[in-house]
Structure 1
Amino acid sequence: MAQQHPFKIEICVEGVDGLVAAQEAGADRVELCASLLEGGITPSLGVVKTALAVATIPFHVIVRPRGGDFLYSALEFQSMLEDVKALRELGVAGVVIGCLTADGRMDEERMKALVEAARPLKVTCHRAFDMTADFREAVEALVRCGVDRVLTSGQRDTAEEGVDILKATAEAAAGRIVVMACGGLNEDNIARLRRESGCDEMHFAALTTVGSAMQYRNPNVGMGGTAIEREYELTLTDREAVRRTIAAARAA
């Protein structure tokens, strides 16, 4: 299938240090998140303002008030609208959103309201798309809502497993919306999956875990229900892994 949109690579990062690592490694764009352990939630406005001060590439900010499902209460949705408006006023390049109905469809009313609040920013639907009951129906819903891009692993844990659905999603989109593949992409598989899926863009997070610089460590307290060891680990973007994976993707 012919390429419908210019090929781009987006790196999913946690915080400003991740953004800097991704842009230094050659990313076209960044998705800026907090708490990737929860799949990414909305970063603070302080993080966004700092990112704007140091960014040399566009970045899109996830608007997700919590981890878990994408069926939001009225107050959660109101907070999403307020975040989108604040991000628009700050001048970021785009936002990343997703709302579902209880029966596994895109919540078109809410998605349209978020898109309207975001304009003129670019709008991506995140992997809420992968939790829909019918991906073809979801593509049509996103087109109706005016969303610019959809992020998907082909409704499976990884792009490897979901490659057939990724290809079918790109075919269903037919150039009307950018389809960005994700899910376990790395330097060993990204070129092949780019070719096999026919997707317009690729998205990955090249993460590495490093030990904390803390010298004193209280063995009796773990925050947030995590293992105590996790208190003294940092998850960072691996510049060299990003660089190698981008090179592999562009060689496809």
Structure 2
Amino acid sequence: MINMEVCANSLESAIAAQKGGAIRVELCDNLAEGGTTPSYAQIAMAKKMLQIKVYPIIRPRGGDFLYTQLEFELMKEDIKICKSLKCDGVVIGILKADGSIDKERCKVLVELASPMGVTFHRAFDMSNDFEKALEDIIEIGCERVLSSGGESSALKGAATLAKLIEQSAGRIIVMPGAGISKTNITELIKITDAIEFHASARHTSSSEMQFKNQKLSMGAAADEFSHDLTDSQLVKELIDLANSN
């Protein structure tokens, strides 16, 4: 049985992920920046409204994964909030300046999160030595690691993902993510032997605004009058394809 985690950029997306058959959501905000910590309300209402597992990402900003002491303190506080809201787990990742896993800080976060589960996110793909990084992540106590094999998509990194899954030897789940789609999930399963996948399964939702001021932009988005949402039907189709063989 192949399980699907969905990267949900809102409560609405998380509800769609559950409807489509996902077993877990990585709840986040700002997907354009790779995902940042969602608001208290998003987390609290997700826990009230969902029956599947909720794992908020603990990431105070976009950009790299080298954090100041202040940012580290923010991450600890966000984990405490997630624990108080009875989340099932959290998603973390901290690197040192040389590209190695910051085991000391990550260990603090894993211990603080207990008994919640912990996933190590794609900061892994920015590390300087995948084999060592995997062993470090196992050592600090994470239950899974999300990775594209260090490439722009999981399909491009499939051979590396297969090696990491073999190296893991059941000690941790290596979960392919990045560009997972109906056109490649079957091939990825054959190449990697992965048992869990991570997808956003998004579609673009157009704004219902009748008046649109096109002379300015409120942010970096190319289109101010649309936003992405998880598509429950696409989630279902991905899961059906993954389990069709």
TM-score calculated relative to the size of structure 2? 0.97
Once the two structures are TM-superposed, the CA of residue 218 in structure 1 deviates from its matched residue by 2.0
1:159 deviates by: 1.2
Aligned to 2:7, the other structure's residue is in SS state: strand
- 2:75 alignment counterpart: 80
Task: Report the residue type matching 2:55 in the other structure.
Answer: H
Are residue 89 (structure 1) and residue 84 (structure 2) matched? yes
The residue aligned with 1:191 is 186
Aligned 8 A contact 1:194 1:202 in 2: no
Of residues 173, 177, 180, the one that matches 1:182 is: 177
Distance, in Å, in 2 between the alignment partners of 1:7 and 1:74 is: 39
Measured against aligned partners, the alpha-carbon deviations of 1:86-105 in whole angstroms (never above 9, x if no partner) come to 10111011100000001111
Whole-angstrom distance in 1 between the partners of 2:195 and 2:67: 30
- Greater CA drift, 123-132 or 238-247: 238-247
Percent sequence identity is 44
Moved more, 234-243 or 37-46: 234-243
Q: Equivalent residue for 2:121?
A: 126
SS state at 2:157 partner: helix
Aligned to 1:136: 131
Instruction: Spell out the pairing of 1:26-105 with structure 2 (5 A cutoff).
Output: 26-105=21-100
1:245 to 230, 238, 241: 238
Q: Secondary structure at the match of 1:81?
A: helix
How many angstroms apart in 2 are the aligned matches of 1:226 and 1:52? 29
Shift in Å at residue 186 of structure 1?
A: 1.0
Q: Distance in 2 between matches of 1:235 and 1:191?
A: 25
Judge conservation of contact 1:158–1:183 (CA < 8 Å) in 2: yes
The answer to whether the 8 Å contact 2:2/2:239 transfers is no
Match in the other structure for 1:210? 205
Measure how far apart 1:210 and its partner are: 2.0
In the alignment, structure 1 segments of 5+ residues that lack a partner are 1-5
Quick one: distance in 1 between partners of 2:229 and 2:2?
25
Q: 2:149 corresponds to which residue?
A: 154
Code of the aligned partner of 1:238: D
The answer to whether residue 220 in structure 2 is matched with residue 220 in structure 1 is no
* Post-superposition CA distance 1:30-50 (Å, at most 9, x none): 111111111111000011111
Q: State the 1:195 CA deviation.
A: 2.1
Q: How many residues align?
A: 245
Where does the alignment leave 5 or more consecutive residues of structure 2 unmatched?
A: none
What corresponds to 1:3 in structure 2?
none
C-alpha distance in 1, partners of 2:122/2:220? 25
The offset of 1:196, in angstroms, is 1.0
Residue 9 in structure 1 maps to residue 19 in structure 2: no
How many angstroms apart in 1 are the aligned matches of 2:234 and 2:108? 38
CA contact (8 A) 1:124 1:149 kept: yes
After TM superposition, the score normalised by the length of structure 1 is 0.94
> How far did residue 226 of structure 1 move?
3.6
1:225 Cα shift? 3.8
3-state secondary structure, aligned to 2:150: coil
Distance 1:89 1:43 in 2: 15
Q: Distance in 2 between matches of 1:197 and 1:159?
A: 10
**RMSD value, Cα:** 1.1
Distance 2:185 2:37 in 1: 27
Q: What displacement does 1:62 show?
A: 0.4
Equivalent-residue separation in structure 2 for 1:62 and 1:92 (angstroms): 11
Q: Deviation above 4 Å: which 4+ runs of structure 1?
A: none
Deviations 1:111-160 (A, max 9, x none): 00000110000000000000011100001101110111100011101111
- Matched residue SS, 1:156: coil
Pick closer, same or farther for the CA change 1:242–1:7 going to 2, 3 Å: closer
Deviation at residue 205 of structure 1 after TM alignment: 0.8
